Amino acid sequence: MARPRVLSGIQPTADSFHLGNYLGAVRQWVTLQETHDAFYCVVDLHAITVATEPAALRRRSRVAAAQLFAAGLDPERATVFVQSHVREHTELAWILICQTGMGEAARMTQFKDKSAKFGEQAASVGLFTYPILQAADILIYQANSVPVGADQKQHLELTRDLGQRFNHRFGDTFTIPEPYILKEVEKITDLQDPSAKMSKSSSSPAGILDVLEQPGPLRKKVMRAVTDTGSEVLFDEENKPGISNLLRIQSALTGTAIPDLVARYEGQGYGTFKKEVAEAVVETFTPIRERTEKLLADEVELDRLLAIGAERARVVARHTMAEVRDRVGFLPSL
């Protein structure tokens, strides 16, 4: 029997993934390639919904792709590609845009949050239609499930609604995907502000651990992470959010359950604990950084891997689009 298909995407909007991206998405994507027919894309079309320098976009798209391979995605097994390489995404997005109500799109909370940042009138129409392009990314591959953070739940609901609507109006065409909500994403918090999610757009540099960062700065940031009053290493989200965040990180990186960590650090104070958290981070990130650097030093090879992914993705996307065009009533183009 065919393996169920997963599809997910990550934006090339930073010069490195951070720990939240790694634990919340990338690491789980790697695990899913074992059991699923996995499609993962670097969503550069989504990145341009806000003004982006071409040189930065090019660099960040390669950096994102290189980190995905470096983190363990195997080009033989997983289909890793750049969204803009598969032109059918934009074509399907247009057709789905025409099935979406203005009010329906206007309810998307991420658009409201993001557009509030520049002032609603300054936001692009592309930012408004962002979730519909995301729906196209998913539906075009007939994905069964979509691993995403909890913040993407509403976009997944829209995707399901649009898929079902299309199927009703035009006949069964799309698989309706299930969300596969990755819990850790929301839980890795800013090292300097444990009440906020670790995030490229809102955390200060001192609050973020970047995958491609050198060991020195990584250690320094962990050692300087905001801790709480008292001196015991205890898991207590309410009174010790900083220590709890570090415990979650340590547990996720070492595979040791939190109660076992708490027992291990009993009577030792914060210093020893933080040192070991820092080591776990450095040990995880260093090999990924080294492999990423190697891939980035050989652009020809990296671009070749992406071409393989794009070709595999295109085969599926073309197949879906041929059916979609016909169902919508477009004439065959001979």
> Which residues are marked as active site?
114, 197, 200
Rounded to whole angstroms, the Cα distance separating 27 from 331 reads 44
State which residue, 152 or 227, has the beta carbon closest to ligand TRP.
152
Min dist. Cβ of residue 274 to ligand TRP (A) = 30
State which residue, 188 or 277, has the beta carbon closest to ligand TRP.
188
Stretch that binds ligand TRP, among 2-10, 211-219, 240-248, 290-298 (CB under 6 A): 2-10
Identify the sign of the CA torsion 252, 257, 261, 264: negative
DSSP 113-182: HHHHHH-GGGS-HHHHHHHHHHHHHHHTTT-SEEEEEGGGHHHHHHHHHHHHHHHHHH-S--PPPEEEEE
Torsional class of 158: left (φ above 0), alpha (ψ -120 to 50), beta (otherwise):
alpha
Tell which positions 225-244 bind ligand TRP, by CB under 6 A. none
- Residue of 6, 148, 277, 302 that binds ligand TRP (CB under 6 A): 148
Rounded to whole angstroms, the Cα distance separating 241 from 273 reads 15
With CB atoms as reference, the residue minimizing the distance to ligand TRP is: 9
Question: Is 175 among the residues that bind ligand TRP (CB under 6 A)?
Answer: no
Q: 71, 22 in Cβ contact below 8 A?
A: yes
Q: 172, 121 in Cβ contact below 8 A?
A: no
DSSP, collapsed to helix, strand or coil, labels residue 42 as: strand
Tell which positions 31-50 bind ligand TRP, by CB under 6 A. 43, 46
Min dist. Cβ of residue 138 to ligand TRP (A) = 5
> How many chain residues touch ligand TRP (CB under 6 A)?
12
Question: Is 177 among the residues that bind ligand TRP (CB under 6 A)?
Answer: no
State which residue, 50 or 146, has the beta carbon closest to ligand TRP.
146
- Residue of 5, 6, 11, 213 that binds ligand TRP (CB under 6 A): 11
Token reading at 49: 């919904």
- Residue of 5, 6, 9, 127 that binds ligand TRP (CB under 6 A): 9
Binding mask 120-139 vs ligand TRP (x if CB under 6 A, - otherwise)?
A: --------------x--xx-
State which residue, 152 or 284, has the beta carbon closest to ligand TRP.
152
Tell which positions 149-168 bind ligand TRP, by CB under 6 A. 152
Binding residues for ligand TRP (CB under 6 A): 7-9, 11, 43, 46, 134, 137-138, 146, 148, 152
